[in-house]
Every structure is written in structure tokens, then in C-alpha cells.
Amino acid sequence: MSDMITFDKVDKRFGQTVVLDQFDFRVARGEKVAIIGPSGSGKSTLLRIIMALQDIDQGKVSLDGRPLWDAAGGKHRIKPTRKHLRDMRSLVGMVFQNFNLFPNLTALGNVAAAPRHVLGLSQAEAEARAAALLAQVGLSDKLQNYPATLSGGQQQRVAIARAMALEPEIMLFDEATSALDPERVGEVLEVMRALAHERDLTIVVVTHQIGVARAIADRICFMEGGRILEDGTPQQILNEPRNERTRAFLRAVHLS
Amino acid sequence: MALIWEYRFDFLAGVWWTVKLSVLSALLALVLAIVAGVARSSKLRVLRIASGVYVEFFRGTSALVQLFWLFYVLPYLGIDLTPLQCATLGLGLCFGAYGAEVVRSCIQAVPQGQLDAAAALNFSYFQTLRIVILPEALIMMMPLFSNLLIELIKATSLVSLITIPDLTFQAKSIITKTYSSGNVLLVTLAIYLVISLIAASFMRRMEKVLSRGRQTGQPA
Ligand SMILES: Nc1ncnc2c1ncn2[C@@H]1O[C@H](COP(=O)(O)OP(=O)(O)OP(=O)(O)O)[C@@H](O)[C@H]1O
Ligand SMILES: [Mg+2]
């Protein structure tokens, strides 16, 4: 299978902080990968680089074989023009920890906005697509609700439908269940698990909830200090971690 | 008070001019404020500098002198505006500058997460502005705009000095005819107060309309 996401010796710094350090990472088409690791280890930054919200200082990042970032010595070898970023972003959808729904639009409006304005569908077509997606995430009865009138779990399901509305090849989830009450995690996880059954959809999930990683992923990467320290099946990583740092992290997570 | 009643039509004419002028210059100021405020938070340096110059100039100079300049100096440059046009332009430019600062600060207050979501959905700059930033920012602007609108209504009294028969102008001319300054001024103040109260309540209603659906638990 071909690679959907490739990181090739990528460096990313914020001032003095080294976030990614000669970072190598590969995700095959259709693979479901979970990234776990301590706070500040660069997990969100990694997703933001794939979503083209953040550039890199050094190295190369490709999506579906097409170069997204290519930098050397802090200089971009591929100009991050608006057109280039838009082309690459059309491959990727992202779900954020804090949902980030547009509060001035209804659930339907949130999901229909991008099909309407970015894909140029008619209002009716965009709303039909949005309604179908909201039905998939179990929110057919909430189409006209504004975000403020939805629970956290419902808001996050709208956010997932919104990200799916552009039919991305890659879906990114950044701590998608971390801001939720424990009893709301299940409903969102269920939607994510349904997406994980789509064979061609590539999924990268960042989480510190082991249950989420176990439910979604067919591969787990443990990240710390700007690198992936351990990479394996959920079975192996969660039950018999080889790296000392992974063991320490899992112990800490289990205690909390 | 019989005296006031006798001059009721003069008062009414004054109110008409004051209200008309307030509405026209507020509309102009709103457009200028949004354009300049958006330009001030733009990525393009030229736009930031141009709007900065506009804002600092009109904020930092006397509104009355601006009006005089439009009224007395423009004709020498071959531009002949009616007093109403002068007044609308003068007040609009001045309050547009104040409003631009409001727009800029409210645009900056839109949470970064909203912008990330818009970028992830591939919205263009103008789509992000129109669909995400301005609706968000507008709600934050309303209470501040409400203050500015009341300031504007009060500032319209300046135009009596460029021959517009607004409320203040009428009050002065009634006083010169009746010598009863106390009562006339009291009524004039009361009228300004009523106009301001109506404007404030209108703005509150607008704010409600704009923020519909925001309150938790409120049916959509
Ligand atoms: N825009 C930024 N400017 C400066 N520093 C940043 C920025 N974004 C992230 N950082 C820093 O980069 C490091 C990695 O941040 P990142 O958000 O990627 O970590 P994370 O693994 O997602 O952490 P968490 O689990 O807490 O979400 C942190 O030290 C953070 O302070
Ligand atoms: Mg994070």
C-alpha cells in the first residue's frame, strides 16, 4: 500500500523549543494510527503541520505522494502559496479538542458552509449533504440547533460531520474526546469507530485516553522529545511496551 | 411651558434634522469603520498603514475644525457640498475612525480556534471574514457601537455651527426670540435624552437579533 502521510527528517522549532527533531513518520493509505505521549511532546503540532496550519523548519512532508512542505535551513523550497495550501488542505479534515464550531451558524449551517462556499454546491445540495452527514452522526433531530444549545458530545459530532463534509482522504483528531464529560465520550467514540471502518479513510488520532487509542487504532505511536520512541500494534504497545519511557507514560496514564 | 408648545414645530423640525443627520452619518461611519477596521487587521502593510493614518488623523483632531474645513475650505478647492453633505461626511469620517478601532479590537478577539477551523475547511480570506469573523466580531461590537452612536447623536449639535437647523440650532433661535433660555434648554436636553434612549434600545434589540441562538438552553 502507498503512503498517505510521509514525514522525512522533519525539524520544527518554536524559538528555542524543539518540537520535532529529525522526525520520521509514515502512515499508509487507509491506516488508523493513534499518537500518544506526554503533554508538550508536539502531538498537536504534528497534526497542525499535516493540516497545513503550521509550517516546518527542515525536512519534507508529503500527503498522498504530493509534497506539502519541503524546507531546508528555515527556507521553503515549496512556496506555501495560498493555492498550494488550499490544494493540500482539500485532502485533510481536522477535528479539534474544543470543537471550534461557528457559534453564529446552526448545526446544519456549520456542516453545509464548506460544501456551499468551498465546493460551490447550491444551498439545497449543500444542506442535503449536511443533513445526511448529521444523520450519520445521529443528530437528525438537531439540525436547527445552534452550538450553544448542544452538549459537548453533540457539538463534537457536528464538528466531525463538518470535517467529513469535504470528503477528505485523511481525518485528524486532536484530543477529540478530552474536553468531554466521561459519559459523553462514548457517543463520540462510536462515531469515530464507524469512520474507522471506512477502508480508504486514513485516520490519525492524538489522544491521552488509552481507550480511544485502543478503539480506533490499528497502530499506536508513542511520541516524546520530538520523536517517535515506540511504534507498534495496540496489543504490543499497551500490553508489552518495550521502551522505558512508554512504560512510564502508560503507568502515569493508568494512575490518573 | 405654553411657550414651548407654541414653538413645537420648530422643535420638531430640529429633531428631524438631528435624527436624519445621525442616521446618515452613523451609516457612513459604520461602513468606514468596518472597511478601516478590517484593513487595520489585514496582512498587507499598505492597508494597515493607510487605515492607521486615517484613524489617527480623524481621532486626533477636532471634529468641529474638521466640519469647518469641509464647510469653508472645500469650496475653494472647487468642491461644493451642501451643508447636509458636509455634516454627514464630517461626522461619518470622525466616528468611522473611532469605530475602526472597535472593529479592529473585536476582530482580534475572535478565538484562534475559529480561524483554524475556517482554514481547515479551506475558506478563503474573504469567506473567513464574512462567514466566521464578522458575525462573531459584530456581536462583541454592538455594546461599543451603542456608546459611539450616542456620542455621535450628541456630536450632531456641532452642525448648528455650519448652518444646519438641527435641534441645537432651533433651540438657540427660539431662545433669541423668547429670552426664555432655561425652559428651552431643559426641553432640548430632554429631547436629546429621549433620542439617545431610543437609539440605545434599538442597538440592544439589534444585539439580541445578532446573538440569537447563543444562550445555552434557549430553543433554536
Ligand atoms: N504557536 C506556538 N508558539 C510557540 N510555541 C508553541 C506553539 N505551539 C506549540 N508550542 C510549543 O510547542 C510544544 C509542543 O506543543 P504541542 O501543542 O504540539 O504539544 P502537545 O503534545 O499537543 O501537548 P498537549 O498534550 O498538552 O496538547 C510545547 O512546548 C508548546 O509550548
Ligand atoms: Mg495538543
User: If you average pLDDT over every residue of chain A, what do you get?
Assistant: 94
Of B161, B15, B28, the C-alpha closest to B89 is B28
Model confidence pLDDT, tens digit, residues B111-146: 999 999 999 999 999 999 999 999 999 999 999 999
Cβ contact, residue pair A163, B120, below 8 Å: yes
For residue A200, the tally of other CB atoms under 10 A from its CB is 8
At residue B220, does pLDDT exceed 90? Answer: no
- Cα-based distances in Å from B61 to A60, A92, B67: 54, 51, 11
Q: What separation in Å is there between the alpha carbon of A255 and the centre of ligand 1?
A: 24
Residue in the structure block whose three cell numbers are 507514560: A249
Residues lying with their CB under 5 A of ligand 2, a single-atom ion: A 44
Nearest CA in chain B to A146: B213
Region B72-100 average pLDDT: 94
- Sorted by where each starts, the structural domains of chain B and their CATH numbers stand as 2-211 (1.10.3720.10)
CA–CA gap between residue A57 and residue A69 (Å, rounded): 9
Cβ contact, residue pair A118, B113, below 8 Å: no
Q: What separation in Å is there between the alpha carbon of A179 and the centre of ligand 2?
A: 12
At residue A1, does pLDDT exceed 60? Answer: no
* Residue among A10, A12, A25, A43 whose CB has most ligand 1 atoms within 8 A, to mutate: A43
* Residue among A11, A17, A205 whose CB has most ligand 1 atoms within 8 A, to mutate: A17
User: Which of B111, B117, B216 lies nearest to residue A148, judging by beta carbons?
Assistant: B216
Please tell me if residue A166 touches chain B, with a CB cutoff of 8 Å: yes
Cβ contact, residue pair A118, B127, below 8 Å: yes
| Per-residue pLDDT band at A37 (split at 50, 70, 90) | very high
Cβ contact, residue pair B117, A90, below 8 Å: no
At residue B43, the 3 state secondary structure works out as: coil
| Per-residue pLDDT band at B2 (split at 50, 70, 90) | confident
CB A17 less than 6 A from any atom of ligand 1: yes
Q: In this predicted complex, what is the ipTM? A: 0.92
pLDDT of residue A169: 96
pLDDT of residue B216: 58
| Per-residue pLDDT band at A256 (split at 50, 70, 90) | low
Region A89-110 average pLDDT: 96
For residue B122, the tally of other CB atoms under 10 A from its CB is 22
Region B5-22 average pLDDT: 94
Q: CB–CB of A218/A202 below 8 Å?
A: no
At residue B3, does pLDDT exceed 90? Answer: no
Q: How far is A31 from chain B (nearest CA, A)?
A: 21
Region A219-245 average pLDDT: 94
| Per-residue pLDDT band at B218 (split at 50, 70, 90) | very low
Cβ contact, residue pair A89, B214, below 8 Å: no
Please tell me if residue B117 touches chain A, with a CB cutoff of 8 Å: yes
Residue A32 CB contacts under 8 Å (≥ 6 apart), including other chains: A196, A202, A203, A205, A216, A217, A218, A219
Q: Which three cell numbers stand for residue A59?
A: 525536512
CB A14 less than 6 A from any atom of ligand 1: yes
pLDDT of residue A216: 93
Model confidence pLDDT, tens digit, residues B19-70: 999 999 999 999 999 999 999 999 899 999 999 999 999 999 999 999 999 9
User: If you average pLDDT over every residue of chain B, what do you get?
Assistant: 92
| Entry pTM | 0.88
Domain boundary assignment for chain A: 102-167
Which residue has its alpha carbon closest to ligand 1 atom 30?
A40
CA–CA gap between residue B139 and residue B206 (Å, rounded): 9
- Cα-based distances in Å from A111 to A67, A145, A155, B126, B131: 29, 12, 11, 19, 13
Region A94-104 average pLDDT: 95
Region B168-189 average pLDDT: 92
| Per-residue pLDDT band at B215 (split at 50, 70, 90) | low
Please tell me if residue A116 touches chain B, with a CB cutoff of 8 Å: no
Which residue has its alpha carbon closest to ligand 1 atom 3?
A14
Q: Which three cell numbers stand for residue B107?
A: 476582530
pLDDT of residue B219: 46
